[in-house]
Amino acid sequence: MNNKHILLKNYAKYSDNEVVEKSQLFFNKMNSRRTVRTFSSELIPVQVLKNAIKTANTSPSGANKQPWHFVLVQSAKMKKKIRIAAEKEEKEFYSNRASKEWLKDLEPFETDENKPFLETAPYLIVVFEEKYKIAPNGEKAKNYYTKESVGLACGILLTALHNVGIATLTHTPSPMKFLAEILKRPKNETPFLLIVAGYPEVGTVVPNIKRKKLNEILTII
Closest CA to 94 of 2, 161, 208, 173: 173
E strand or H helix that includes residue 171:
strand 167-171
CA distance 36 to 201: 9
The mean of the pLDDT values for the chain is 96
**Overall domain count for the chain:** 1
Closest CA to 44 of 169, 193, 165: 165
Rounded to an integer, the average pLDDT of 55-65 is 98
Rounded to an integer, the average pLDDT of 55-72 is 98
185: number of Cβ within 10 Å: 17
pLDDT in the model for residue 2: 66
Percent of the chain with pLDDT over 90: 88
Q: Is residue 131 part of a domain?
A: yes
Host domain of residue 81 = 42-200
pLDDT tops 80 at residue 46: yes
CA distance 83 to 79: 6
Q: Is residue 90 part of a domain?
A: yes
Q: Is residue 216 part of a domain?
A: no
pLDDT digits (tens, 9 = 90+) for 105-115: 998 888 999 99
pLDDT in the model for residue 3: 75
**CB-neighbour burial class of residue 150 (10 A; exposed 0-12, middle 13-18, buried 19+):** buried
Q: Is residue 207 part of a domain?
A: no
Q: Is residue 109 part of a domain?
A: yes
pLDDT in the model for residue 98: 85
pLDDT in the model for residue 155: 99
Ranked by mean pLDDT, the top range of 4-8, 99-103, 118-122 is: 118-122
Q: Is residue 51 part of a domain?
A: yes
Q: Is residue 82 part of a domain?
A: yes
CA distance 4 to 113: 51
Q: Is residue 208 part of a domain?
A: no
Whether the CB-CB separation of 97 and 174 falls below 8 Å is answered with yes
CATH of the domain at 114: 3.40.109.10
pLDDT digits (tens, 9 = 90+) for 1-31: 567 899 999 899 999 999 999 999 999 999 9
pLDDT tops 90 at residue 173: no
CA distance 162 to 32: 9
This prediction's pTM: 0.94
**Helix, strand, or coil (residue 212):** coil
Percent of the chain with pLDDT over 70: 99
